[in-house]
A and B are shown apart, each in its own frame.
Chain A
Amino acid sequence: NAGVTQTPKFQVLKTGQSMTLQCAQDMNHEYMSWYRQDPGMGLRLIHYSVGAGITDQGEVPNGYNVSRSTTEDFPLRLLSAAPSQTSVYFCASSLFDRGESPLHFGNGTRLTVT
């Protein structure tokens, strides 16, 4: 009964480094997404996917890449980390990309870029 699993929980990067945040779900959910949460700004959508092989940009996609090679996994890649990417990142999935299908969230990755 794992749900949505994110790794790592914490990460510190230097400016210019790259890394991948991992997200996996075991619920056979069609829809997966990445959000960032910043103080006073709520959650903002970075990228999302409506199925394996299909990805699209959200509200704040610059500096991030995603891929969806399997239904279960949806990694988020930071290409060249910047201090502005210091944030808490959440992966979320839902059974369908339809309004009535609730989102299931992971416990987040807290990223600090120095």
Chain B
Amino acid sequence: GNSVTQMEGPVTLSEEAFLTINCTYTATGYPSLFWYVQYPGEGLQLLLKATKADDKGSNKGFEATYRKETTSFHLEKGSVQVSDSAVYFCAPTPDTGRRALTFGSGTRLQVQP
């Protein structure tokens, strides 16, 4: 079956620190890979995506590279801000359809000034 592993956190960092949130997955076929972010009181929103091996998704200073050989999609940011405090979800999505999409419980990031 499909599954995703990411640390639950909370991950607590000081402003301007380097961020890594690890994501490894198992999935049938060749999934597209997404990171979603959830700010307090809101729904999830797309942060970035990659659809094939070695693709790098990027947005708002965040990056993640599709590593097919290690089935990983780690999220990185060089300098976090207080406004990045949120819950981050890694979501590998098989091309067979949404029914097989698996969300983990997310990683809570807290950035302190």
B17-25, B74-82, B94-102: which one contacts chain A?
B94-102
C-alpha gap A105/B41 in the complex (Å): 12
* B42 neighbours in A (Cβ, 8 Å): 107-108
Are A58 and B89 in contact, with the CB atoms below 8 A? no
Are A42 and B46 in contact, with the CB atoms below 8 A? no
Q: A48-B99, A56-B99 are in contact. Are A42 and B105 (CB under 8 A)?
A: yes
Chain B residues packing against A (C-beta within 8 Å): 8, 31-32, 34, 36, 41-46, 49, 51, 89, 93-99, 101, 103-106
Q: A41-B105, A42-B105 are in contact. Are A102 and B49 (CB under 8 A)?
A: yes
C-alpha gap A97/B104 in the complex (Å): 20
Residue from B32, B89, B98 whose CB has the most chain A CB atoms within 10 Å: B98
Are A43 and B103 in contact, with the CB atoms below 8 A? yes
Minimum C-beta distance from A72 to chain B (A): 18
Are B89 and A42 in contact, with the CB atoms below 8 A? yes
C-alpha gap A100/B43 in the complex (Å): 20
Q: A42-B89, A42-B105 are in contact. Are A100 and B41 (CB under 8 A)?
A: no
Minimum C-beta distance from B97 to chain A (A): 5
Are A99 and B103 in contact, with the CB atoms below 8 A? no
Residue from A43, A50, A97 whose CB has the most chain B CB atoms within 10 Å: A43
Q: How many of chain A's residues touch chain B, expressed as a range?
A: 20 to 34
Chain A interface, >50% SS class: strand
A-B contact pairs, 10 of them (CB 8 A): A35-B103, A50-B97, A98-B95, A99-B96, A99-B97, A100-B32, A103-B34, A103-B98, A105-B43, A107-B42
Those 3 A-B pairs whose CB atoms lie nearest each other, nearest first = A105-B43, A99-B95, A99-B32
* A58 neighbours in B (Cβ, 8 Å): 99
Minimum C-beta distance from B84 to chain A (A): 19
C-alpha gap A6/B72 in the complex (Å): 33
Are A42 and B97 in contact, with the CB atoms below 8 A? no
Are B98 and A94 in contact, with the CB atoms below 8 A? yes
C-alpha gap A87/B45 in the complex (Å): 19
C-alpha gap A106/B49 in the complex (Å): 19
* A44 neighbours in B (Cβ, 8 Å): 103
Q: A103-B46, A108-B42 are in contact. Are A42 and B98 (CB under 8 A)?
A: no
